[in-house]
Structure 1
């Protein structure tokens, strides 16, 4: 049976915590730099990374609150359709909010998740490592001029 593998589009990355390897291929996964960081560039990258992950985690908290039957158990669908289900739920959530149907988010604490979580996986080979990509991203978010529009709109620092 042929199995579809879902990859982010070019220029997009999955955000992982320090328990994942920083990879460029076969799937681009960007992780924070291990603590302590070596420079202000890597520290700023880590702050942006943590803020982005927090937004994503809050979003899933909202989705879990509204659609408990869908998100509080394993999605029993082909992985290819998971992003479509999540996207549809986000659209429906926005419709609900627009209509005034707002639910309070149930906050869940994950004791295993911390900002200081550093990679426990050994150094990857240069062909698969995303370290070079992460270095370029870190330099880009630390540049005082010419920030990407998405960072200018949401500069949380």
Structure 2
């Protein structure tokens, strides 16, 4: 049985604390001799009818064990930043997509979690995780769109705090 092609619509979820420390996870599928690929949570829609929010919550759960799905304590903390990036798919991953697909649309989300939130990475996808200050996190990312999203964190974190009526 062949694996279905990936849908070229994905999410990027910047997970962070009130101190603007960002969760980075290291990809497991990096070829030998290449530097580690640190990133935020990412992943594609399973079905074209899936919403961006459903996809983001599912990917966070699958990759980190943090539950922000509907009905969870963190469900309202998952925020759609209403930003989209369109980029060329890295050549080494083109085989995962249907023939002729060369670009992906990525929707950006933020998720503020309490300091000390437990993380359980999926060992099939990632080998390590770390919490780092947002500027260091941006410098560590291999993806330019991921780094740019992290650098926007102070602006979006302040909007999130204002929306729920909290101040730092």
Task: Indicate whether the TM-score tops 0.5.
Answer: no
| Structure having the larger proportion of residues in helix | 1
**TM-score with structure 1 setting the length:** 0.27
Pick the structure with greater CA Rg.
1
| Structure having the larger proportion of residues in strand | 2
**TM-score with structure 2 setting the length:** 0.26
